[in-house]
Amino acid sequence: MTIRKNILVKGHVQGVSYRKQTLHVARHLGVNGWVRNVSDGTVEACLEGEEDAVDAVITWCAFGPKKSKVDEVQILAVGIAKGYSDFSIVVDR
Q: Is 27 annotated in the active site?
A: no
Longest dimension (CA), the chain: 34
State how far Cα 69 lies from the chain centre.
Answer: 15
Indicate which residue of 4, 6, 19, 93 is catalytic. Answer: 19
CA distance 93 to 80: 23
* 6 annotated active-site: no
Nearest-angstrom CA–CA distance, 19 and 42: 11
Of these residues, 6, 27, 37, 93, which one is catalytic? Answer: 37
Active-site positions read: 19, 37
